[in-house]
Chains A and B, each alone.
Chain A
Amino acid sequence: MDYVGSLILLAINAALINNFVLHYFVGICPFVGVSRRVDVALGMGLAVTFVITIAAFLSWTLTWFVLQPNAPLTSWIVHTINPNSEMVVDLSILNYIVYIFVIASSVQFVEMFVRKFHPPLYKSLGVYLPLITTNCAILFACLEIMKHVSGVGAGAWTLDKALILGFFGGIGFLIAIVLMAGIREELDLCDVPAPLKGAGITMIIAGILAMAFMGFTGVDSGLAGILMRGGG
């Protein structure tokens, strides 16, 4: 129960309390750019969730087996070549470059997939689909995973936690962008002062949304109490 409880807490934390967009400010570009209509926003949110989950899986695997100090695969290679070596193998300097590669290739994959199986969505996402590559939310998820993989002892994350963080982080992004699109659809009927039209009013609405999401602070500790008691 402890295990399931900790996963649920992590999920709620990633999706609501520390929402990627409204708490960490990552993924602002599509949040402002693609939030004019609810259906497009939903498509974008799903695409991002999908890419984040794939990227989370790949980045955890690569970090754990190849990149972290004394990673199994790299040390094995070094010790096969030179059995007497005492060297600590550390490829973590390559972290960022590897992550960017992983993200770029998973976006390419998603693009091919969507073009083949969902042409209308492909059309409406347009230029924003390749731009997912430069979506900070995905790199941010990879970095969070990296930080926790290198954590020592029991703090180190296993693959399931990385996947949960990626998936629910994406869901958090989806919630934020769909809420935003809903508000902006209504906003078309309102009389917004001219200088604030477009980005200005979007930012202010995001501020108010962020305030609303601050209301989730503390939910985790309450929930932790309930879950742990329920598990006995």
Chain B
Amino acid sequence: MNRNEPTALERFINGILPENPVYRQLLGMCPTLAVTNSMEPAMTMAVAVAFVLLSANIIVSLIRHLLKPHLRILVFTLTIATFVTIADRILQAYMWDMSKQLGPYVPLIIVNCIIICRCEVCASKQKLGPAIMDALGQSLGFALALASVATVREILGSGTWFGLPVMPAVWPDWVIMVLPPGAFLTLGVLIGLVNWLQNKKKQTA
């Protein structure tokens, strides 16, 4: 094995911050913007994406020797679509309200670039172990990104966090934060913040 290849553990850590899917790779923006008006849907979405990413990475890693180059993207998408159907049916069966609130964004996990990208970059070339660690790291990074955006939007927009009131009663809700523009503004500012911190760290190091 190539010495420069990151180990399984490094892959896991890489996913959380250095290669965070949302902030560093700018992947999976659609759910990041769409379901983050409060914490609860954001976390449900993070769990659903983690389930699909993990299952897809396992399957793709197991069948990596059978893949034909020109058909691989199609195989990835069909694998992902199967698991998304499972996740969607589970959500509808056990969390009907949440499934309604997430609406089309659960099936839209199929075209979430994070999962296809991880299948392509990692799972189709690695053994089972590194592929699983990679999926776990990436989904944790994705969950963190969703949580950060959702925290800002829910606290500023409705004065609550996970539905619990955190702001004083006099807090005027910034309604714009739970509406679509708030999502774009929050994510833009947070991306800027992460870049700024990264640059600062680089300069001091």
- Check if A25 is an interface residue, CB within 8 A of chain B: yes
From B107, B112, B188, A196 is in contact (CB under 8 Å) with B188
- Check if A32 is an interface residue, CB within 8 A of chain B: yes
B104: shortest Cβ distance to chain A, in Å? 5
* Overall SS of chain A's interface: helix
A30-60 CB mask vs B (1 if < 8 Å, else 0) is 0010000000000000000000000000000
B76-91 contacts to A, CB under 8 A, are 77-78, 81-82, 84-85, 88-89
Pairwise interchain contact B78-A97, C-beta atoms closer than 8 A: yes
Beyond A96-B81, A133-B77, is A207–B181 a contact (Cβ under 8 Å)?
A: yes
From A27, A135, A143, A193, B107 is in contact (CB under 8 Å) with A143
A189-212 contacts to B, CB under 8 A, are 193-196, 199-204, 206-208, 210-211
Pairwise interchain contact A29-B189, C-beta atoms closer than 8 A: no
- Check if A23 is an interface residue, CB within 8 A of chain B: yes
- Check if A140 is an interface residue, CB within 8 A of chain B: yes
A209: shortest Cβ distance to chain B, in Å? 8
B48-100 contacts to A, CB under 8 A, are 73-74, 77-78, 81-82, 84-85, 88-89
- Check if B101 is an interface residue, CB within 8 A of chain A: no
Q: Name the A residues within 8 Å of B196 (CB-CB).
A: 195
Beyond A93-B89, A200-B191, is A25–B180 a contact (Cβ under 8 Å)?
A: yes
From B85, B89, B107, B183, A139 is in contact (CB under 8 Å) with B107
B151: shortest Cβ distance to chain A, in Å? 17
- Check if A134 is an interface residue, CB within 8 A of chain B: yes
From A134, A135, A199, A210, B191 is in contact (CB under 8 Å) with A199
Pairwise interchain contact A96-B85, C-beta atoms closer than 8 A: yes
- Check if B6 is an interface residue, CB within 8 A of chain A: no
B175: shortest Cβ distance to chain A, in Å? 11
The complex places the Cα of A28 from the Cα of B184 at a distance, in Å, of 11
Pairwise interchain contact B181-A100, C-beta atoms closer than 8 A: no
- Check if B111 is an interface residue, CB within 8 A of chain A: yes
From A25, A93, A95, A207, B185 is in contact (CB under 8 Å) with A207
- Check if A171 is an interface residue, CB within 8 A of chain B: no
A160-190 CB mask vs B (1 if < 8 Å, else 0) is 0000000000000000000000000000000
Interface residues of A (CB under 8 A from B): 22-29, 32, 93, 95-97, 100-101, 104, 130, 133-136, 139-140, 143-144, 147, 193-196, 199-204, 206-208, 210-211, 214
